[in-house]
Amino acid sequence: MRPSGRNLSDMRPISIETGVMGHAEGSCLIRCGNTHVLCSATIEENPPRFLKGTGLGWVTAEYGMLPRATNTRNRREAASGKQSGRTQEIQRLIGRSLRAGVDRVALGERQITIDCDVIQADGGTRCASITGGWVALRLAVNKLLKAGAIVSDPIIDHVAAVSCGIYAGQPVLDLDYAEDSEAGTDGNFVLTGAGKLIEVQMSAEGATFSRDEMGQLLDLAEAGMTQLVAAQKAAVA
Amino acid sequence: MRPSGRNLSDMRPISIETGVMGHAEGSCLIRCGNTHVLCSATIEENPPRFLKGTGLGWVTAEYGMLPRATNTRNRREAASGKQSGRTQEIQRLIGRSLRAGVDRVALGERQITIDCDVIQADGGTRCASITGGWVALRLAVNKLLKAGAIVSDPIIDHVAAVSCGIYAGQPVLDLDYAEDSEAGTDGNFVLTGAGKLIEVQMSAEGATFSRDEMGQLLDLAEAGMTQLVAAQKAAVA
Amino acid sequence: MRPSGRNLSDMRPISIETGVMGHAEGSCLIRCGNTHVLCSATIEENPPRFLKGTGLGWVTAEYGMLPRATNTRNRREAASGKQSGRTQEIQRLIGRSLRAGVDRVALGERQITIDCDVIQADGGTRCASITGGWVALRLAVNKLLKAGAIVSDPIIDHVAAVSCGIYAGQPVLDLDYAEDSEAGTDGNFVLTGAGKLIEVQMSAEGATFSRDEMGQLLDLAEAGMTQLVAAQKAAVA
Amino acid sequence: MRPSGRNLSDMRPISIETGVMGHAEGSCLIRCGNTHVLCSATIEENPPRFLKGTGLGWVTAEYGMLPRATNTRNRREAASGKQSGRTQEIQRLIGRSLRAGVDRVALGERQITIDCDVIQADGGTRCASITGGWVALRLAVNKLLKAGAIVSDPIIDHVAAVSCGIYAGQPVLDLDYAEDSEAGTDGNFVLTGAGKLIEVQMSAEGATFSRDEMGQLLDLAEAGMTQLVAAQKAAVA
Amino acid sequence: MRPSGRNLSDMRPISIETGVMGHAEGSCLIRCGNTHVLCSATIEENPPRFLKGTGLGWVTAEYGMLPRATNTRNRREAASGKQSGRTQEIQRLIGRSLRAGVDRVALGERQITIDCDVIQADGGTRCASITGGWVALRLAVNKLLKAGAIVSDPIIDHVAAVSCGIYAGQPVLDLDYAEDSEAGTDGNFVLTGAGKLIEVQMSAEGATFSRDEMGQLLDLAEAGMTQLVAAQKAAVA
Amino acid sequence: MRPSGRNLSDMRPISIETGVMGHAEGSCLIRCGNTHVLCSATIEENPPRFLKGTGLGWVTAEYGMLPRATNTRNRREAASGKQSGRTQEIQRLIGRSLRAGVDRVALGERQITIDCDVIQADGGTRCASITGGWVALRLAVNKLLKAGAIVSDPIIDHVAAVSCGIYAGQPVLDLDYAEDSEAGTDGNFVLTGAGKLIEVQMSAEGATFSRDEMGQLLDLAEAGMTQLVAAQKAAVA
């Protein structure tokens, strides 16, 4: 009954290829089905002004989409002269999510910027960005540890994300675009490897949902996390 | 134990004064404690291009904050030349939330714009904007009904919002700024008068939360809705 | 013969409510008939670069209008990405006018920013902003004096403003929007409490005027000042 | 006692050279002492939207300054991405002033844009722009008349402008930069050939002035107009 | 003597993988050594205004670089709010170059937009964009031909580009970044498959060059073209 | 056969008038036929950040065009809020070209900005800007030498530029607008007084050219240089 023929609780195949951007301190190309996102991590030893003297580190994120990542071409944000509200909302979410998995004291007074650029979009780009962004972050932090720049690992746990929604009256895991554009209710769930919640964003465009439905979607998300964390582990091994 | 001396499940006093912007089709000044927001509704019979020929209406929102609504002065967004990511995120939320309470067929091919401008901020400005924005919308729709421009009421139910969070380890209702800036986890909950959920946005800046905590905050939010709907009813009576 | 039924030399009722923006060092809501403006004063001890080392203070102003302050909705300047020429012209006028009533040596190396945001517009918003802005400034300076941050009062005199114009061939005081949009010639007059002139801006959109007419308008403006200064005195008492 | 050695009521030498921009329908280089402004007029038969169907014409203006027109280099507005408040204020003044000398019915549904670009600045650039802008306008309208595109002359009278101020306690005519930067009070006066007033803008940066002083400056301005109109007549002969 | 150990007339290995952006009408990932560029072609049947009614087609291009395509992170142009002069210069070059290989009559009134996004930069990104952009264009045009939307092939010949320069006193082919940043003189050469020139851009930052040197670089470019065209042919076969 | 009646290798008459912008350290109005450009040089002793501590000087350029320099009015870039790609491309070319004629060590840690503003355009504005810009630069450097601020002359040689193209099948020198808009192939050539090349930019909008044609255009450019350098010499004598 799903357009892709998947079962209700099936995720799309996940692959994470690392080292795809040679200049970055960490990078990967994450593919969640037909959603492909390039993630890179940049370490800047010269921290932003608000960190100076605090001893704390910072993780931030930027998000973009190639103009033809989508079915019809979107105007290039650099050409239109500003990032859309959607772009800003997503990059703020990615940054907040990843910070929740980092011990800012252990990271020390430096900033790591995660760039997530969508090469091909088929729903769930913000979730793929978080999951892939964590891999890039992990690899960059590994470099810092190996170089002795930091002594204790600032990464507390895995951070990954998945979307779920009510599609054709049924709770489904890992919405693709065909489902996402039809779903009455959908949500993005960011969790840790240990299953704690970092962000829950549920929304019903022009509709409403119940606490029961919310619970069902959370159940699916928790199930999906196992696969995401496994893919992250395999990638950074 | 709350800075304001309130009990854990106490809301701040709510007042909604209507008719404060004489030119608007609907308007109110909503006060949730020391958070004060001016809300106005503008009906535009000439709909945006994407509606043309669909027979459907649209509700959208814009959000702003006076430079000195806050403890220290914020730069005026008109002077800096762009709306911040936070502003855009909030106004998108307000628009989505109010649309969930409106039958777009019954509204017909017209747009209603809700402007929410924060005069004084003490936490919860986006929630106050949704709650007050609904009042402005209700009043504007009443005008359309009275004028015979539409025949059946497009407003399905009340829409209101409240924030809750874990403050000092306890779930508390209706966070003020002192609590919001200290809360590990907080969320914004948009509900209908009938208690259905429209949006749930929970976030843990640099921390995590459990499903149990999520449930406790939802319980508080549902309790708060009763008071918000009562204040809306009194205002539009 | 005036749309409002007022006599030629009648001003609209003035009310000035102070303390309406709790975070500001000084604030008021000024109502000149149906023109309502929120004015706040912000003291910044860290002066702009051009003041450093001069020992002189600075007073500046910013002006805005809520989108639905007017009969039809105006596009939000923060959304369009720039302040209009009209906005910039007005805020420059407010700043210059208020500085003329301040001893910059006595103020010392600090900046006071006056924000004037029009809630409802019915003509004369720049004049109401100057008159109300002075009240916010006065209250903020009172705080500095009370705190001992400055020792001698830097405020030299009241500063207030009123518009006059030739409407239907007659010189009239304090134009409302219905008059302003029809007036061949109109002017804005900024005066001190002692009756000295600070700014005179007379303009005849697509028309001309004589020195005699100019004199008649000045006579009206001087008469109006008495009432404005009285309202200011009552507000700050 | 004036830095230039001029008498109190002496204007600087005026020269107006026409035809300096070969593509424009009318153009001139106006020199008021060391203030040099290039003015051009462009006729657009396709009027702006707000004129469509009204039968009325429009005259508008834009103003700019070459980066090194001044003693130190100013940032190019095209590079900084916006026109300053000062620029916008000036171009609005030029447009309003020139429209006051034009019969918009006789002009017909077309727009004339006057571009004023300051090549060298020594005070009084906005006044020189108005005086030179009128010459460019006159020449462009002559072309329309000659081509039979319009039948009756839409230009009602000469329009020109001059600044006056209180310098070192004395009322002086036609301020240059050395005087302008020191003058307590100064004003810009736009008049018609017949001596009627179009705009009066008097301002006292950080000071005040009396009605008597205002009258003295007006007397000087009226005297100066004779020379400006004579220069315009010679230029367009 | 080249940092990479290549001979003077050696190109870097070229690979072109097609079909990498599933939504685009044509796409490829071109790798010229460590310079990797994603190229996509978008067909828009609704042509830009200036084409309407001409019967002619248009090919245009946009260029971007992921923030961490380079050794240190560049600010995202979408965040800084404008495309740099360099970006605009490059995308204008790509568009002009590809148009030279297209019969605009045969293409018909439609636009093809080539997006070139640099994933990893090691010198020669504009040349790789042209070479890869042609492949994306070729694939998109194949779709039009196959669908019968156009009847005769509008692509006249291959278009490809390569850079050459004087490095350490020697003319070298296909500069990488290490060479490019040290080269006194360098040039970009766009040629057709038949060896005709489309664009020659030679520049000597802070230096000069002779006609002889220019000829040597052209010789190298012509030699390089053979390999580029072969790679294009293999890719689109 | 040329629209102007010139022979194939005829340049337009050149005139260079110096000292036209009194505030600038060097300035000229260059006229190449009907192309007129104002060039000024500004010396800034406070160098840009990237020069600090290097001991090297910098020459940069900005380019603009008055709105009515052309046959139809162009939108003012200051009003549209950004410089076009064409503008940026041209000003980067001017800066690079002039730097090639300057010994940055001898110039010392200061910046010279060359502003080129086109008053009237008839083809070849970028070439005229380079030729005139060099005159402004020469005059400004003369001031530094005369003042003893620098001891050895940092100007190595003349720098000038001319365009050539294939018009109606014939190679012609110094294209005017009528030729430029019809030429299949055209190029801009920047040379030193000694005949060395600084920049070669050849382009064939929608066409191609051969090495032979390229050589013929270079021959013409070299011939033209003699006249340009003679005009520069006369101007700065």
Please provide the average confidence, as pLDDT, over all residues in chain F: 96
**Interface contact E184, partner A, CB < 8 A:** no
Separation between Cα atoms, residue E52 and residue E57, nearest integer Å: 10
Residue D26 Cα distances to A96, D157, D231, angstroms = 60, 17, 16
Give the nearest partner residue to A24 out of E44, E68, E81, using CB atoms.
Answer: E68
Can you say whether the dihedral through the CA atoms of F193, F196, F199, F202 is positive or negative?
positive
Does residue E46 surpass a pLDDT of 90?
Answer: no
Please provide the average confidence, as pLDDT, over all residues in chain E: 96
Separation between Cα atoms, residue C180 and residue F23, nearest integer Å: 44
Maximum separation of any 2 CA atoms in chain C, in Å: 56
Residue F87 Cα distances to A84, F62, F68, F94, angstroms = 27, 8, 16, 11
Residues of A in contact with E42 (CB under 8 A): 67-68, 73
Residues in Cβ contact with C146 at an 8 Å cutoff, skipping those fewer than 6 apart = none
**Interface contact C208, partner D, CB < 8 A:** yes
Does residue D206 surpass a pLDDT of 80?
Answer: no
Q: List the binding residues of E for phosphate.
A: 86, 124-126
Q: How confident is the model at residue D123 (pLDDT cuts 50, 70, 90)?
A: very high
Start-to-end CA span in chain B (Å): 37
Residues of B in contact with C82 (CB under 8 A): 78, 81
Q: Is B126 annotated as a binding residue?
A: yes
CB crowding D165-202: b at 16 or more within 10 Å, else e: bbbeeebbbbbbbebeeebbbbbbbbbbbeebbbbbbb
Choose among A71, F77, C128, D44: nearest CA to E22: A71
Q: How confident is the model at residue C205 (pLDDT cuts 50, 70, 90)?
A: confident
**Interface contact C69, partner B, CB < 8 A:** yes
Residues of C in contact with B44 (CB under 8 A): 73
Can you say whether the dihedral through the CA atoms of B70, B76, B81, B82 is positive or negative?
positive
Render pLDDT for B186-224 as a digit per residue (tens, 0 to 9): 999 999 999 999 999 999 877 899 999 999 999 999 999
Contact F114, F136 (CB under 8 A): yes
Separation between Cα atoms, residue A231 and residue A222, nearest integer Å: 15
In the prediction, which pLDDT does C204 show?
A: 87
Separation between Cα atoms, residue E137 and residue E124, nearest integer Å: 20
In the prediction, which pLDDT does F190 show?
A: 98
In the prediction, which pLDDT does D204 show?
A: 87
Choose among B235, B230, B123, B121: nearest CA to B173: B123
- Selected for mutation to probe chain B from C20, C28, C45, C68 (highest B CB count within 10 Å) is C68
Render pLDDT for B12-51 as a digit per residue (tens, 0 to 9): 999 999 999 999 999 999 999 999 999 999 999 988 889 9
Residues of C in contact with B77 (CB under 8 A): 78
**Interface contact B216, partner A, CB < 8 A:** no
Read off the amino acid at residue D16: I
- Is the Cβ pair E69, A115 closer than 8 Å? no
- Which residue of chain F is at minimal alpha-carbon distance from D40? F68
- Selected for mutation to probe chain F from D37, D73, D177 (highest F CB count within 10 Å) is D73
Report the gap between the CA of B79 and the closest CA in chain C (Å): 6
Rg for chain C, CA atoms, rounded: 18
- Selected for mutation to probe chain E from F208, F214, F217 (highest E CB count within 10 Å) is F208
Stated length of chain D: 237
Separation between Cα atoms, residue E101 and residue E5, nearest integer Å: 34
Domain chopping of chain D, boundaries: 14-236
**Interface contact B72, partner A, CB < 8 A:** no
Residues of F in contact with D118 (CB under 8 A): none
Contact C25, C140 (CB under 8 A): yes
Residues of C in contact with B63 (CB under 8 A): none
Name the CATH code of domain C14-236 (choices 1.10.357.10, 3.10.20.30, 3.90.320.10, 3.30.230.70): 3.30.230.70
Does residue F233 surpass a pLDDT of 90?
Answer: yes
Render pLDDT for F190-226 as a digit per residue (tens, 0 to 9): 999 999 999 999 998 778 999 999 999 999 999 999 9
Question: Both tokens of residue D104?
Answer: 């918009």
Mean pLDDT of all residues in A18-25: 98
What number is the ipTM of this complex?
0.95
Mean pLDDT of all residues in A149-154: 96
Contact E65, E117 (CB under 8 A): yes
In the prediction, which pLDDT does C139 show?
A: 98
- H/E run at residue D39: strand D35-44
pTM confidence score: 0.93
**Interface contact E88, partner F, CB < 8 A:** yes
- H/E run at residue E26: strand E26-32
**D97 φ/ψ sector (left φ>0, alpha ψ -120 to 50, else beta):** alpha
Report the gap between the CA of B130 and the closest CA in chain C (Å): 17
Separation between Cα atoms, residue A124 and residue A36, nearest integer Å: 10
Separation between Cα atoms, residue B192 and residue B199, nearest integer Å: 10
Does residue A206 surpass a pLDDT of 80?
Answer: no
Residue ranges in C32-184 assigned as alpha helix (H): 77-80, 85-99, 104-107, 125-146, 177-180
- Which residue of chain C is at minimal alpha-carbon distance from D204? C198
In the prediction, which pLDDT does E206 show?
A: 76
In the prediction, which pLDDT does D184 show?
A: 84
Encode D55-87 in three state secondary structure.
CCCEEEEEEEECCCCCCCCCCCHHHHCCCCHHH
Give the nearest partner residue to A100 out of B82, B86, B206, using CB atoms.
Answer: B206
Separation between Cα atoms, residue F152 and residue D12, nearest integer Å: 42
Question: Tokens 């840690």 — which residue?
Answer: F109
Q: How confident is the model at residue D19 (pLDDT cuts 50, 70, 90)?
A: very high
Mean pLDDT of all residues in A63-77: 97
Residues of A in contact with B96 (CB under 8 A): 203, 205
Does residue B135 surpass a pLDDT of 90?
Answer: yes
3-state secondary structure of C199: strand
- Is the Cβ pair B214, A200 closer than 8 Å? yes
Separation between Cα atoms, residue C214 and residue D127, nearest integer Å: 21
**Interface contact A208, partner B, CB < 8 A:** yes
Total CB pairs under 8 A between chain D and F: 95
- Is the Cβ pair B89, A91 closer than 8 Å? no
- Which residue of chain E is at minimal alpha-carbon distance from A75? E62
Q: How confident is the model at residue E113 (pLDDT cuts 50, 70, 90)?
A: very high
In the prediction, which pLDDT does D179 show?
A: 96
Chains that touch A (3 or more CB pairs under 8 A): B, E
Angle of helix A85-99 relative to helix A125-146, nearest 10 degrees, comes to 40
Question: Both tokens of residue C230?
Answer: 């009285």
**Interface contact D230, partner F, CB < 8 A:** no
Separation between Cα atoms, residue E161 and residue E86, nearest integer Å: 17
Give the nearest partner residue to E99 out of F192, F199, F206, using CB atoms.
Answer: F206
Question: Both tokens of residue F22?
Answer: 């009194």
Mean pLDDT of all residues in A72-100: 95
Maximum separation of any 2 CA atoms in chain A, in Å: 56
- Selected for mutation to probe chain E from A45, A73, A116 (highest E CB count within 10 Å) is A73
Chains that touch E (3 or more CB pairs under 8 A): A, F
Residue ranges in A20-176 assigned as alpha helix (H): 77-80, 85-99, 104-107, 125-146
- Is the Cβ pair B207, A92 closer than 8 Å? no
Residues in Cβ contact with A112 at an 8 Å cutoff, skipping those fewer than 6 apart = A25, A41, A42, A43, A44, A57, A58, A59, A60, A137, A140, A141
Stated length of chain A: 237
Give the nearest partner residue to F76 out of D64, D66, D67, using CB atoms.
Answer: D64
Give the nearest partner residue to E21 out of A21, A23, A119, using CB atoms.
Answer: A119
Of A24-28, A181-185, D189-193, E14-18, which gets the smallest average pLDDT? A181-185
CB crowding D52-75: b at 16 or more within 10 Å, else e: eeeebbbbbbbbbbbbbbbeebbe
Of A5-19, A115-129, D199-213, E6-20, which gets the smallest average pLDDT? D199-213
Read off the amino acid at residue D145: L
- Is the Cβ pair D71, F23 closer than 8 Å? yes
Tell me what percent of the residues of chain B surpass a pLDDT of 90: 94
Q: Is C126 annotated as a binding residue?
A: yes
3-state secondary structure of C229: helix
* Burial of C103 from C-beta contacts in 10 A (0-12 / 13-18 / 19+): middle
Residues of D in contact with F74 (CB under 8 A): none
Does residue D16 surpass a pLDDT of 80?
Answer: yes
3-state secondary structure of F43: strand
Separation between Cα atoms, residue E26 and residue E139, nearest integer Å: 5
Mean pLDDT of all residues in C176-203: 95
Render pLDDT for F37-93 as a digit per residue (tens, 0 to 9): 999 999 999 888 999 999 999 999 999 999 999 999 999 999 998 999 999 999 999
Contact A77, A84 (CB under 8 A): yes
DSSP C165: E
Separation between Cα atoms, residue B184 and residue B168, nearest integer Å: 8
DSSP B155: B
Separation between Cα atoms, residue D94 and residue D115, nearest integer Å: 10
Contact E233, E183 (CB under 8 A): no
Give the nearest partner residue to C78 out of B42, B64, B69, using CB atoms.
Answer: B64
Report the gap between the CA of A64 and the closest CA in chain B (Å): 14
**Residues 93..152 of F with a Cβ closer than 8 Å to E: which?**
96, 99-100, 104
Residues in Cβ contact with C131 at an 8 Å cutoff, skipping those fewer than 6 apart = C14, C16, C30, C32, C160, C161, C162, C228, C231, C232
Please provide the average confidence, as pLDDT, over all residues in chain C: 96
Q: Is F126 annotated as a binding residue?
A: yes
Tell me what percent of the residues of chain A surpass a pLDDT of 90: 94
Does residue A236 surpass a pLDDT of 90?
Answer: yes
Chains that touch F (3 or more CB pairs under 8 A): D, E
Mean pLDDT of all residues in C149-169: 96
Can you say whether the dihedral through the CA atoms of A219, A221, A226, A229 is positive or negative?
negative
In the prediction, which pLDDT does B207 show?
A: 83
Q: HSE-up of C108 (CA within 13 Å, CB side)?
A: 13
Render pLDDT for D96-107 as a digit per residue (tens, 0 to 9): 999 999 999 999
Mean pLDDT of all residues in C61-90: 96
- Selected for mutation to probe chain B from A200, A210, A219 (highest B CB count within 10 Å) is A200
Output phi, psi for A116, to 5 deg.
-120, 115
- Which residue of chain D is at minimal alpha-carbon distance from F34? D22
Q: HSE-up of E12 (CA within 13 Å, CB side)?
A: 26
CA A118 to chain centre: 11
Give the nearest partner residue to C117 out of B66, B71, B115, using CB atoms.
Answer: B66
Total CB pairs under 8 A between chain C and D: 94
Question: Both tokens of residue E1?
Answer: 């003597």
